[in-house]
Amino acid sequence: MLTRKNKLILLKLLSLFSIVRGYNILIIVLAQYLTSIFILAPHIRIRDVILDPNLFVIVLASAGVIAAGYIINNFYDKEKDLINRPQKTMLDRLVSQRTRLTGYFVLNFLSVVCASYVSFRAVIFFSLYIFGIWFYSHKLKKFPIIGNIIASLLAITPFFAVFIYYKNFDEVIFVHATFLFLMLIMREMIKDLGNLRGDFANNYKTIPIVYGELISKRILSVLILASWLPIYLLLTRYEVGYMYLYFYACIILLFAFLLGLWRSKGRTHYVWLHNILKLIIVSGTFSIILIDVNIILDKILW
């Protein structure tokens, strides 16, 4: 049986995992490797991509900066999260503010040190990324529209890191990135709709607070229609292999999202809509392997 002390340690570890959103970081790490293998460097063997020390360091630095970003975001959002997510906030409080801030600085420092292994340009890139996350959490997230755009751009920045590393400028990559960006900005807007109480109480100037829920829903509807353009291009102009199944599923899910959006009336409904977008984003990560199923065998064998 676990002692009381051991239970407390486990709870603190769980709290720390919750603060840094460990599950999100794992998904991003996996997405960076799958993107590298199947989209950015399809001509390189899987073994060589996975064992590439430079790529490993870039992914490790990205994970560190993202974890630190979640910590500083948690620090600035503690008051509104107490209203919007009371249970999670109580769990997060098992880790002291001092420990969180220490972790924030340590993770950022180690990430920059890791980046120095690759190049000085990588150091500059991750230093700017760290500053961007802090400035967003401290200032920009309280502003409508610009806060949503910056949050979405910061979310796809780790993919730009590996994109720059491989120097692959194929047009299809930008189309994939556009689709992901649209899903991310829609997710940010749905989060704002679900966090109305906490945002209003803490003077956050989000789109639904400044312009109202109706305008938010109209903007989301336009973004849904816009997302069908990259889907159309990926299905008709580019070779995506069996990933076409994923994009057809996305059309159905986005249509269901649109119907649910205009019938939604409260936080519970917005949480369901957020989960639909999360499903699209996460399943998209695993669907990358469908671009060329044979590439797995070919790369492993050779």
**Number of structural domains the chain divides into:** 1
For residue 129, pLDDT beyond 90: yes
183: tokens are 């899903």
Tell me whether residue 265 is in a domain. yes
Tell me whether residue 76 is in a domain. yes
pLDDT value of position 301: 45
Tell me whether residue 4 is in a domain. no
Q: Which domain holds residue 44?
A: 14-301
Name the percent of the chain lying above pLDDT 70: 94
286: tokens are 């695993």
Angle between helices 267-287 and 22-35 (to 10 degrees): 30
CB 88 within 8 A of CB 81: yes
CATH number at residue 98: 1.10.600
Tens digit of each residue's pLDDT (9 = 90 or more) over 59-89: 999 999 999 999 998 888 877 777 777 777 7
252: tokens are 């159905």
Tell me whether residue 181 is in a domain. yes
170 vs 233, which has greater pLDDT?
233
Query: What is the mean predicted confidence (pLDDT) over 203-216?
Result: 89
Give the whole-angstrom CA distance, residue 128 versus residue 146. 18
Tell me whether residue 5 is in a domain. no
Phi, psi for residue 119 in degrees, rounded to 5: -175, 165
Query: What is the mean predicted confidence (pLDDT) over 225-241?
Result: 93
Tens digit of each residue's pLDDT (9 = 90 or more) over 87-98: 777 767 777 888
Tell me whether residue 47 is in a domain. yes
Tell me whether residue 144 is in a domain. yes
Angle between helices 146-166 and 171-194 (to 10 degrees): 150
For residue 302, pLDDT beyond 50: no
252 vs 83, which has greater pLDDT?
252
**Which of 94, 107, 67 minimizes the C-alpha distance to 10?**
94
